């Protein structure tokens, strides 16, 4: 591999070079060994991500933890530290351990807030004329601008506010849902790290895998 490619891969910050460089040394004994490991890892990640998605649906925290542990080891073995660190989070959250004191409010997988478009809806609207409150006061005024004078009736009705949408609440740490949210955040970031690492390593090995 050219020195420029090595330096570019190091500069990404995606790889622990002390680990990855040892794999490249093994290529001297077995040509293509590091590339083989990379391709094997890609297949493992895709399969494991699918298993994680299934277990998120069933909320099987123990299985999620095991999958996180498995993928953490695979990523660390080839020096992909960004993926490994997120999988470590999955492993610990599956055991209900917030080892990194992650703030759930910062989760990228939390339910989004109510749409801002709702702010354009008026807080209250008048009821249709057919549903006017019979107890509402009736004001009679004289319209002196016309001849003959006619009585005009203005009906003032009590305005009823529209019901407001419920605000989302954060589950407590005693709930499995709390840990599922944290695991989703870690998985989302692991996917991002995998996508970046895959592009960088494809470029490094000059392949498309």
Would 8 be classed as within a structural domain? yes
**C-beta separation of 98 from 182 below 8 A:** yes
pTM of the shown model: 0.71
What are the CA-CA distances from residue 86 to residues 92, 117, 151 (Å)? Answer: 10, 34, 75
Would 69 be classed as within a structural domain? yes
Would 150 be classed as within a structural domain? no
Crossing angle for the helix pair 33-58 and 17-26, nearest 10 degrees?
130
Q: How far apart are CA 153 and CA 139, in angstroms?
A: 6
What are the CA-CA distances from residue 96 to residues 62, 69, 183 (Å)? Answer: 10, 14, 10
Would 142 be classed as within a structural domain? no
* Residue ranges of the chain whose pLDDT lies below 50: 110-136, 138-142, 144-156, 165-167
Domain that holds residue 66: 3-108+177-205
pLDDT in tens, 32-81: 999 999 999 999 999 999 999 999 999 999 999 999 999 999 999 999 99
What's 36's domain CATH number?
A: 1.20.120.160
Would 54 be classed as within a structural domain? yes
Domain count, the chain: 1
Would 136 be classed as within a structural domain? no
Would 18 be classed as within a structural domain? yes
Q: What is the pLDDT of residue 1?
A: 65
Crossing angle for the helix pair 176-205 and 3-11, nearest 10 degrees?
160
Would 162 be classed as within a structural domain? no
């Amino acid at each position: 591999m050219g020195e420029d490619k090595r330096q570019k891969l190091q500069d990404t910050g995606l790889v622990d070079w002390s680990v990855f460089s040892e794999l490249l040394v093994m290529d001297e004994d077995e040509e293509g060994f590091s590339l083989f490991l990379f391709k094997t890892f890609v297949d493992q990640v895709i399969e494991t991500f699918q298993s994680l998605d299934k277990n998120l649906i069933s909320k099987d925290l123990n299985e999620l933890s095991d999958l996180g542990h498995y993928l953490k080891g695979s990523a660390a073995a080839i020096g992909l530290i960004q993926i490994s660190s997120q999988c470590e989070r999955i492993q610990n959250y599956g055991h209900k351990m917030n080892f990194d004191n992650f703030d759930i409010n910062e989760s990228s997988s939390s339910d989004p807030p109510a749409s801002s478009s709702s702010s354009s809806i008026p807080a209250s609207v008048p009821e249709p004329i057919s549903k006017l409150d019979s107890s509402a006061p009736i004001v009679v005024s004289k319209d002196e601008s016309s001849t003959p004078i006619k009585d005009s009736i203005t009906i003032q009705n009590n305005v009823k506010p529209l019901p407001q949408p419920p605000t989302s609440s954060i589950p407590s740490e005693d709930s499995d849902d709390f840990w599922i949210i944290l695991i989703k955040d870690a998985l989302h970031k692991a996917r991002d790290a995998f996508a970046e690492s895959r592009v960088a390593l494809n470029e490094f090995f000059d392949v498309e895998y």
